[in-house]
A and B are shown apart, each in its own frame.
Chain A
Amino acid sequence: MPTRLTVLAAALMLAGSVHAADKVKVGFVSTLSGPGAGLGVDIRDGFNLAVKQLNGKLGGLPAEILIADDQQSPDVAKQATDKLLKRDKVDFMTGVVFSNIMLAVGPAVFQNQTFYISANAGPSQYAGEQCNPFFFNVAWQNDNLHEAVGKVVQDKGFKNVMIVTPNYPGGKDAVSGFKRFYKGQTEEMYTKLGQLDYAAELAQIRAAKPDALFFFLPGGMGINFVKQFVASGLSQQTQLFAPGFSADEDVIKAVGAPMMGMFNSSHWAHDMENAENKRFVAEFEKEYKRLPSLYASQGYDAALMMDAAVRDVKGNLGDKKALQKALEAKRFKSVRGDFKFNSNHYPVQNYYLRAIGKDAQGRVTNKTMGTIFTNHADAYVAQCKMK
C-alpha cells in the first residue's frame, strides 16, 4: 500500500512538472506616477505593444499582464511584488525602473524562484557577486551607457569634467562606469533622488568652470535639470554629455530645441536599420502617437524574450532549469540588432553614440553618429559565480 501511494504521488508530481501551463502570468511593477512616470509608462507601452503584436499571447499561451505602480518607493514596490508572487503566482516579473527598487524587490522574487526579466534596472550588485540564476537583464548593466560616454569624452580630449548624479545605487554605478573610461580630472556632485530644483548645483557648476558636464538624471529630474541649465546660461560655456537615459524622447519632448547638439550613448536608437526595429518604431508611433524611447524598446524586448523562452520550453513553466536555459539561449530578434547574454545574464552588445538634432521631418530627436563599443561586456561578470 505505501509503495503504491508513493508511486502514485511520484507519478502525479511527474505529471505536474511536464504538464504545460494554460496561460502565462506576468507581474509588471513599475514607476507609473510622479517624476519618474515617463520611464515606467514607456516600458509598459513597449511591453504591451509586443504582447499585442503576438495576439495577446506569450510563447503561444494566452498572456495575463498584471500591472502595478510602485510610486518610485521601494516599500510600495515590495508590497506589490509580494502580492503578485504569493497571491497571483506570476510566472515572470518585470518592469522596475530604478535600481534601488530592484535591489529591494529582488530577494523576494529569487527566493520564490520566479524569473525576473529586468527591462531597465541593471545594478552592479546583480551583475557581480549577487548574480542570480533567476535574474536577467535584457537592457544593459547600469555602468555600460556611462562607460560609453566616458570613452567619448576621453576621446574628444576634455580635461575637466563635472559629474552630476542622484545619490542612489544607479548614480554610483554611473560614476564608476564613466570613470572607468574617462581618465581626466573629475568633480562629482551627488543630488537627492527626485530633486527638482537645481539652482544651488548650477551655481556651483558655474563657479567650478568645467569644460564638460556629464549628468545622469533620469525622468523628471533630467527634464528640470536641462531646462534650468539652459535658463542659467551655462550652455554657452559647457558642453553637455549624458547617457541615453537623460537624452531620450521623454526629456526631448519636454525641453525641445535647447537639447540640440547634446551627445549621448545608447545600445538602441529609433533610426537603427533593421527590420524588427523599423516595424517596432512604426507600430509604436501608430499606437501611441509618439516616438519610442530606449525604455520602450527595452520593454518590447523583455516581452519578446519571454515569448521565445515560453515557446522553447513548450509552455512547461514548472521546469525552472529548462526555462533558465531557454532564456539564456536568447532565441528572439531584438530591435537593437544581435546581442547575447553573458554568464551573469547581462547583455554583451554594441553601444552607439547619438546626437540630438532635427530629423528630416523637422522633429528634434536623436540621430545615431557611430559605434563606441563593439560586443562590450560589463565589468562585474568575473565576480559572478552563477549557480
Chain B
Amino acid sequence: MTQLFLEQALNGLQFGLMLFLLAAGLTLVFGIMDCINLAHGSLYMVGAYFVAAAAQAADSFWLGLGAGIAGTAVLGLLLELSLFRQLYRRDHLAQVLATFALILIANETVRLIWGPAPLLLNPPEALAGPVEIAGFFYPAYRLVIIAFGLAVAGLLYLLVAKSRVGMWVRAGASNREMTEALGINVRGLFTAVFVFGAALCALAGGLLGPLLAVQVGMGESVLILAFVVIIIGGIGSIRGALVGALIVGTVDTLGRALLPTLLRALLPADAAATLGPALASILIYLLMAGILFFKPQGLFPARA
C-alpha cells in the first residue's frame, strides 16, 4: 500500500512539474505582456521535435536536449521579434486569432518536415530501467525528470524572487506603465521572458518525449491543462504556477488511479472503467471552478 501511494505521489509530482515548466512560460507571457499565446503548446511540440531530431543526429540524448533547447530559444526569439512584438498592444481577440494561426502553421510545417508518424525518442540507455531504494522500485528516468523540474523551480524562484531581473519582471507584471516610467527596458525584458518561456517548453517537450510520443498535435492537449494551471495559480505568478501545476498533476494522477478502484467496488468493471477516467478528467475542472469561486483571481494573484 505504501509502495502504491508513494509511487502515485511521485507520478503526480512528475506530471505536475512538467506542467509547471509549460505553465511558467505561459503565465509570464500572459501576466507581464498581457498576451494570450495559444501557440505556447506549439513551442512545446517544436521543442520536442528539435530535441528528437538532434538526439538522433548526435546519437546522444543529452546533446540532443541541449541543442533542441537552444534551437527552440532561437525560434522563440525570431517569433517574438517578428510577430509577438506587434501583438502586445492589440486586443485579446487579435492575439487569439494570430496565435491560433500559428498552431495550424506549426502543425502543418512539422508534418511536412518530419512526416505524420511520431518520432522515436529513447531515454539514455543508463536510465531505461528502474532504480530500487529499499524494496521500492521507481523508473530512473522519471526520477531524473523530477530532479530537472525541481531544479528549474528552484532556479526560477531565485531568479524571480531574489534577482534584479526578477524584480523587474514582477514589477512589470503588477504595473507595466509604472515600470516603464522607472526607465526599465521593458521591450528587452519582454523578449528575454518570451525566449526563456520557449526554452522551458523545449525542456518539457524533450524530457517528456521518451515517455509520451513526439507527434503532431501533442501541444494542444497539454496547452489546455497549462491554462488551467495558470488560472488556478493566478495569472502572472510563478509561485501560483508551481502550486497550481502540482495540484493539477496530483489530482489527475490520484484521480486516475483511485477513482476506478473505488467505482469498481460499486459498479461493473467496464462501466467503472468508462466512468472512472471521465470523472478523473472532470475532477480538474471541478477543482478549478471551486477555486475560482472562492478566489476569482486565482490562488496567488500577481496584481494583488
Point out the residues of chain A lying under 8 angstroms from B277, CB to CB: 167, 190-192
Q: Is A189 positioned at the interface, with any CB of B under 8 Å from its CB? A: yes
Of the listed stretches A114-122, A128-136, A229-237, A288-296, chain B binds: A229-237
Interface centre among A199, A230, A258 (most CB of B within 10 A): A199
Q: Is B118 positioned at the interface, with any CB of A under 8 Å from its CB? A: yes
Q: Is B303 positioned at the interface, with any CB of A under 8 Å from its CB? A: no
A41-B117, A231-B128 are known contacts. Are A203 and B8 too (CB-CB below 8 A)?
Answer: yes
Point out the residues of chain B lying under 8 angstroms from A41, CB to CB: 117
| CB 8 Å contact bits of A21-34 with B (1 = contact, 0 = none) | 00000000000111
Q: Is A204 positioned at the interface, with any CB of B under 8 Å from its CB? A: yes
Point out the residues of chain B lying under 8 angstroms from A223, CB to CB: 213
Contact B139 A228 (CB under 8 A): yes
Q: Is B175 positioned at the interface, with any CB of A under 8 Å from its CB? A: no
Contact A203 B4 (CB under 8 A): yes
Q: Is B1 positioned at the interface, with any CB of A under 8 Å from its CB? A: yes
Q: Which of B130-172 contact A (CB under 8 A)?
A: 130, 132, 137-142
Point out the residues of chain B lying under 8 angstroms from A167, CB to CB: 270, 273-274, 277
Which of chain A's residues has its CB closest to B210's CB? Answer: A227
Contact B118 A35 (CB under 8 A): yes
Q: Is B27 positioned at the interface, with any CB of A under 8 Å from its CB? A: no
Point out the residues of chain A lying under 8 angstroms from B257, CB to CB: 200, 203-204
Q: Which of A151-207 contact B (CB under 8 A)?
A: 167, 172, 175, 188-192, 196-197, 199-200, 203-204, 206-207
Cβ distance A30 to chain B, nearest Cβ, rounded Å: 12
Q: Is B267 positioned at the interface, with any CB of A under 8 Å from its CB? A: no
Contact B117 A232 (CB under 8 A): no
Point out the residues of chain B lying under 8 angstroms from A231, CB to CB: 123, 128-130, 139-142
Q: How many residues of B contact A (CB 8 A)?
A: 41
Contact B261 A33 (CB under 8 A): no
Contact A188 B269 (CB under 8 A): yes
Q: Is B290 positioned at the interface, with any CB of A under 8 Å from its CB? A: no
Point out the residues of chain B lying under 8 angstroms from A192, CB to CB: 277
Q: Is A13 positioned at the interface, with any CB of B under 8 Å from its CB? A: no
Q: Is B11 positioned at the interface, with any CB of A under 8 Å from its CB? A: yes
Q: Is A69 positioned at the interface, with any CB of B under 8 Å from its CB? A: yes
Contact B213 A196 (CB under 8 A): yes
Cβ distance A77 to chain B, nearest Cβ, rounded Å: 15
Point out the residues of chain A lying under 8 angstroms from B217, CB to CB: 34
Contact A188 B273 (CB under 8 A): yes
Query: A230–B274 Cα gap in the complex (Å)?
Result: 27
Point out the residues of chain B lying under 8 angstroms from A258, CB to CB: 128
Q: Is A220 positioned at the interface, with any CB of B under 8 Å from its CB? A: yes
Cβ distance B221 to chain A, nearest Cβ, rounded Å: 10
Q: Is A51 positioned at the interface, with any CB of B under 8 Å from its CB? A: no
Query: A233–B130 Cα gap in the complex (Å)?
Result: 5
Q: Is B283 positioned at the interface, with any CB of A under 8 Å from its CB? A: no
Q: Which of A244-266 contact B (CB under 8 A)?
A: 254, 258
A207-B3, A233-B132 are known contacts. Are A220 and B118 too (CB-CB below 8 A)?
Answer: yes
Query: A167–B273 Cα gap in the complex (Å)?
Result: 7
Which of chain A's residues has its CB closest to B216's CB? Answer: A33
Point out the residues of chain A lying under 8 angstroms from B140, CB to CB: 231
Point out the residues of chain A lying under 8 angstroms from B118, CB to CB: 34-35, 37, 220
| CB 8 Å contact bits of A144-156 with B (1 = contact, 0 = none) | 0000000000000
Contact A203 B116 (CB under 8 A): no
Query: A249–B132 Cα gap in the complex (Å)?
Result: 31
22 A-B pairs, CB-CB below 8 angstroms?
A32-B116, A34-B215, A35-B213, A35-B215, A37-B116, A37-B118, A41-B117, A190-B273, A197-B212, A199-B15, A200-B256, A206-B3, A207-B1, A224-B212, A227-B210, A228-B139, A231-B128, A231-B140, A233-B129, A233-B130, A234-B137, A258-B128
Report the 9 A-B pairs with minimum CB-CB distance, sorted nearest first. A233-B130, A190-B273, A33-B116, A231-B139, A207-B4, A203-B7, A199-B11, A233-B137, A37-B117
Chain A residues packing against B (C-beta within 8 Å): 32-35, 37-38, 41, 69, 167, 172, 175, 188-192, 196-197, 199-200, 203-204, 206-207, 220, 223-224, 227-228, 230-234, 254, 258
A38-B117, A224-B212 are known contacts; what are 20 more A-B pairs with Cβ within 8 Å?
A: A33-B111, A37-B117, A37-B118, A190-B270, A197-B212, A199-B7, A199-B14, A200-B253, A200-B257, A204-B4, A220-B118, A224-B211, A227-B128, A230-B129, A231-B123, A231-B128, A231-B129, A231-B130, A232-B137, A232-B138
Chain B residues packing against A (C-beta within 8 Å): 1, 3-4, 7-8, 11, 14-15, 111, 116-118, 120, 123, 128-130, 132, 137-142, 210-213, 215-217, 253, 256-257, 260-261, 269-270, 273-274, 277
